[in-house]
Structures are given as C-alpha cells and as structure tokens.
Amino acid sequence: MRLRLVPDDTKIDFFRLKFFTFGASVLAMIASVVLFLSVGLNYGIDFKGGTTIRTDSEVAVDIGAYRDALSPLGLGDISITEVTDPTRPDLHVAQIRIQAQDGDQAITNDTITEVKAALNAADSTMTFPSVESVGPKVSGELVWTAVEAVVLSVLAVLFYIWLRFEWQFSVGAVIALVHDVTLTIGVFSLLQIKFDLAIIAALLTIVGYSLNDTVVVFDRVRENLRKFKTTPLKEVLNLSINETLSRTVMTSLTTLIALFALFVLGGDVIRGFVFAMIWGIIVGTYSSVFIASTILLRLDVTRDTSKPTKTSGNQFANIDA
C-alpha cells in the first residue's frame, strides 16, 4: 500500500492566480532588498571580527556550563564549539569565539583574563593554549567571498540549465533561485537572526535543493512538450506540475520533518542554519511551481512540430522521481 499525500490525476490550475502569486513574490523581493539596505543583517563573529580562544581540558566539554560562566561578563555574541585535536586524543578541546567590543579589533587583555578566570571557575583543569583575533579587514574579505560564492553558484546553474534544456528554462530557474536567496536574506534582516558562515552554507544548500526541485519539473515539461506538440504551453506546464506534485510534496514534507526536529532539539548552535533551511525549502518549493514555470510560460518555448510525435521518455517515464 503506497502512501500518497496528493491524489492521482490532480488537475490544479497553477496559473489561475499567476498575477497574484508572481506579483506577491516581486513585492516580497523588493521588501527584502529594502530591509537589507535599511536595517541590515545581524552579522555574527565571522563577519564582524572578534577573538577566538582555544581551551584544553581533562574533562568533557560542557558548552552550557561555559556559556553560563561567560554570561555575567556581558561580552555580547559568543560562539562555543567542541572540536577534535587528532594529536591529543586525551584532551577535550573547545573553541570560544567572542565578538569585537565597541568596534575594537579584539577584546582587551584584561577582558581575556576575566574570561579565563570565569572558565577556570567552571572547569579547574582548563588551559588556554592559543588566543587569536579576527580583524575587520579579514571579516570584510569573508563577506565578499560569501557573496562571490552565491553569485558564482547561480551563474553555474544558469550555464547548466542552458546546456541541459533551453535558455528559457535557465532564465526561469535562475530567477527562481534569486527569488529564494533574496527572500531568505530579507527574513534574516527582518528577524535579526545571527548571520554567519553557517548561513552562507545554508544559502548554497537552498540553491541546490531549489534547483533539484525545478529540474524535476522542467524535465517533465520537456517530456510532455515532445508528447503534445500542439497543446498550448500553459496546459503542458499545468500537466507537468501536477504529474510531479506528489514527488514535490513528499520530498519537501519529509525533509521539513527532519529539519523541524533539528530546530527544536538541536540547540542554539545550529538553530540559525536549520531555520534558513526550513525557510529555504518552503520558498524553494513555492518558486519551483509558481515562479520558474510562470517565467517559462512568459518566455515561451519553441517546439519543432515538423517531426512526428513519438512516445517520450522510457519505461519509467510515468514514475514519480
């Protein structure tokens, strides 16, 4: 017995409200850009600069105890991560990152002394083998590197879809990706969730997930264009989206279940990353259905009607991917 979240032979008209859905997306993108320019992002230590302190201990790392010990110092954004030192497997190693204070490149020596004293109160066996600072210049370079990574990934998508399909498909896919990334940045700007390198990783993951969803729909569109050479493009697009809707809903829902579990139980360290993934999957699924397909309908696709119609695909063509 197969579990089907979407009934067979659905005939939903996804373009009946295309002016509303597309217009709402355009307004949301404009609002996201305005929020980014006016409010800005709540950059984490990776982008603002700060000080990294490595700790070694003979007992297991207790991130909660470390955070409780440092909270009274009022140092702002603090990131605590347990790491592994392959050269000393007997030690328990943690990396503590503290944001720059009042625009300084790093925290002062007096503050570092207070941090060490507070941590030693929580763990008397703790030692501090290294203290390093990340200045504003390095942080600025990280910002531009992150932007370049996202832009280059979108350009790579444009080239890939262009080679696999036609240029109309690539334009639709890229606009959908820009839509997803822009709305994600807008939400982070609105909610002022900490934005660090982990969120950049989430953005790149969102690009890949949304692209996969869009390619599945576009692949079915290409098959149906070969089957129905004289059918209006709007009907072909609706048919293709409906045929892949079960797969789209099942994939998104199962992924969201896992992500919601991580969001609730994973703790503060990964919560921002998981939130970005949850939001990205929601808008990515939406854009694959309502944005990429609407752009494709607007640009139209040239079909060769001079050749006889052949059955498209293979013996597995009607199986949901």
Which pLDDT tens digit goes with each residue over 222-244?
A: 888 888 878 888 888 888 888 88
pLDDT value, residue 257: 93
pLDDT value, residue 82: 80
pLDDT at 129 over 90: no
The answer on 201 and 79 residing in a single domain is no
Round to whole Å and give the CA distance between 294 and 158.
17
pLDDT value, residue 221: 87
Question: Cα dihedral sign for 100, 104, 106, 109?
Answer: negative
pTM above 0.85, yes or no: no
Say which CATH number the domain at 255 has: 1.20.1640.10
The answer on 214 and 125 residing in a single domain is no
Give how far the C-alpha of residue 225 lies from the chain's centroid of Cα atoms, to the nearest Å: 32
pLDDT value, residue 259: 92
**pLDDT tens-digit readout, 25-73:** 999 999 999 999 998 888 777 777 778 888 888 888 888 888 888 888 8
- The structure tokens 């203290």 sit at 131
The answer on 174 and 63 residing in a single domain is no
Q: What is the mean pLDDT of residues 148-168?
A: 79
Does residue 143 fall inside a structural domain?
A: yes
Rg (CA), the chain: 25
Count of domains observed in the chain: 2
Find the domain containing 251 and state its range.
18-42+139-299
- List the single range of 112-116, 166-170, 268-272, 291-295 with lowest mean pLDDT: 268-272
pLDDT value, residue 164: 76
Angle (deg, nearest 10), helices 292-299 and 18-38: 120
Does residue 316 fall inside a structural domain?
A: no
Does residue 314 fall inside a structural domain?
A: no
Q: What is the mean pLDDT of residues 195-201?
A: 82
pLDDT value, residue 30: 95
* Alpha-carbon dihedral 181, 184, 185, 188, rounded to 10 degrees: -160
Does residue 321 fall inside a structural domain?
A: no
- Select from 99, 134, 169 the last residue of a domain: 134
Contacts of 208 (CB under 8 A, 6+ apart): none
pLDDT value, residue 183: 93
pLDDT at 103 over 60: no
The answer on 250 and 172 residing in a single domain is yes
